[in-house]
Amino acid sequence: MRPDQALAPPLDTDAPAAPAATGSVRPAIPPQHYGLLYGTSQPMRELYQQIEKVAPTSLTVLIVGESGTGKELVARTLHEKSPRDGGPFIPVNCGAIPAALIEGELFGHEKGSFTGAIQQHMGYFERAAGGTIFLDEITEMAPEMQIKLLRVLETSSFHRVGGTEQICADVRVVAATNRDPRTAVREGRFREDLLYRLAVFPLRVPALRERPADIDMLGQRFLDQLNATEKTRKRFAPGTLDGLRQYHWPGNVRELKNAVHRAFILADDEVKVRNPEPPPRNRRVVRRDGSLELTVGIPLPDAQRELILATLAHFGGDKRQTASTLGISLKTLYNRLDVYKHGGDA
């Protein structure tokens, strides 16, 4: 056993065997999940370890990961593994609530505090008492609300809109974003002090392409679930799982789940997941101040060229600093620039 395996928290032992197709008996399979999260790859095991450590505390947690990686499942698992398990789990999509309403939605309002406030209203924080509030898409929260949230996190209390009574917030705050929160800070859209306060314990959910070892199991699980609910016995066509492993899944687990669902509906017996379209080749590289955004799947030489040229531009053409920052020799940098000048790729 490798030492990292010895350290990993046990996967949950109550894993039900994959639902058997009607009438068939399957051998028991080893546990494949931790809370609501499925996957046994090393990056997921490391994530489980971190959840296991932080769940018993009441620390604020910031979950970062691409869209569809399972951030909401991570938040729910964290809640499930915490002593607040018996309390409520209240998800709030901060990006979906209009700026004018969000304070009342989060903290509630008193009767008559504004036109239309015909009765006292309990906010999400109050409803989450004894449990967890999940602030999703946190970087989309309006700036004036960010400062109010920071105050709540620092004082553990708040008051309803139009009220004066301080209400104690016995709430564990878990936030999530699928954007890079540091970029949001750099762009002036997100308060740095709030980021530091929220990210007491950051959790990063790995993209599916970083854990191809989980693709088979997740694909099979989604198919098993569909077979169980639809009372069918459809199987993947030979080679399907190999195909799934080849793809880079920019939409992560959600995209995989949807692809299996679509293929399941179309299949009579053998489920064939069509290889999705290759990533778009237009707008592959976006340059912003001090950062580069590269579309997943662009050829490595292109990515390298863009990084070198962007770094050179960043340092105002200073080749020595560019080479040392990139960790390559000055000679290598000159060679590359020479190739680029002549329209080469390498």
Residue 208 or 308 having the CB closest to ligand ATP: 208
Residue 79 or 305 having the CB closest to ligand ATP: 79
**Which span sits near ligand ATP by CB under 6 A: 68-76, 163-171, 267-275, 289-297?**
68-76
CB of 314 to ligand ATP, least distance (A): 29
Instruction: Choose from Mg ion, ligand ATP, none: what does 73 bind? Cβ within 5-8 Å by kind.
Output: ligand ATP
Tell me how far CA of residue 204 lies from CA of 51, 64, 75, 243, in angstroms. 11, 5, 12, 27
Instruction: List the one residue from 109, 121, 172, 257 that touches ligand ATP (CB under 6 A).
Output: 257
Query: Which residues are registered as beta bridge partners of 293?
Result: 286
Residue 72 or 224 having the CB closest to Mg ion: 72
Instruction: Choose from ligand ATP, Mg ion, none: what does 253 bind? Cβ within 5-8 Å by kind.
Output: ligand ATP
For every residue of 265-318, DSSP letters joined together read HH-SSEE-PPPPPPPPSSS-EEEETTEEEE-TT--HHHHHHHHHHHHHHHTTT-
For every residue of 146-201, DSSP letters joined together read HHHHHHHHHHSEE--BT----EE---EEEEEESS-HHHHHHTTSS-HHHHHHHTTE
Give the Cα separation of 74 and 22 in Å (integer). Answer: 31
Q: For residues 284-343, which are near ligand ATP according to CB under 6 A? A: none
Residue 74 or 215 having the CB closest to Mg ion: 74
Segment 101-104 long-range contacts (CB within 8 Å, at least 24 positions apart): 102/141, 102/142, 102/145, 103/145, 103/148, 103/161, 104/161
Instruction: List the one residue from 35, 68, 108, 181 that touches ligand ATP (CB under 6 A).
Output: 68
Q: For residues 72-111, which are near ligand ATP according to CB under 6 A? A: 72-73
Binding track over 25-64 against ligand ATP, x by CB under 6 A? ------------xxx-------------------------
Q: For residues 209-238, which are near ligand ATP according to CB under 6 A? A: none
Residue 71 contacts ligand ATP per CB under 6 A: yes
Cβ-closest position to Mg ion: 72
Asked if residue 228 lies in contact with residue 264, where contact means CB atoms within 8 angstroms, the answer is no
Asked if residue 110 lies in contact with residue 161, where contact means CB atoms within 8 angstroms, the answer is yes
Residue 65 contacts ligand ATP per CB under 6 A: yes
Q: For residues 166-205, which are near ligand ATP according to CB under 6 A? A: 178
CB of 257 to ligand ATP, least distance (A): 5
Residue 72 contacts Mg ion per CB under 5 A: yes
| Residues with Cβ within 8 Å of residue 169, at least 6 apart in sequence | 125, 129, 152, 156, 157, 158
CA 228, 229, 233, 235: dihedral to nearest 10 degrees?
A: -90
Residue 80 or 224 having the CB closest to Mg ion: 80
Closest CA to 132 of 85, 191, 100: 85
Residue 258 contacts ligand ATP per CB under 6 A: no
| Residues with Cβ within 8 Å of residue 103, at least 6 apart in sequence | 145, 148, 161
Residue 49 or 178 having the CB closest to ligand ATP: 178
CB of 309 to Mg ion, least distance (A): 35
Site of interaction with ligand ATP (CB under 6 A): 37-39, 65, 67-73, 178, 253-254, 257
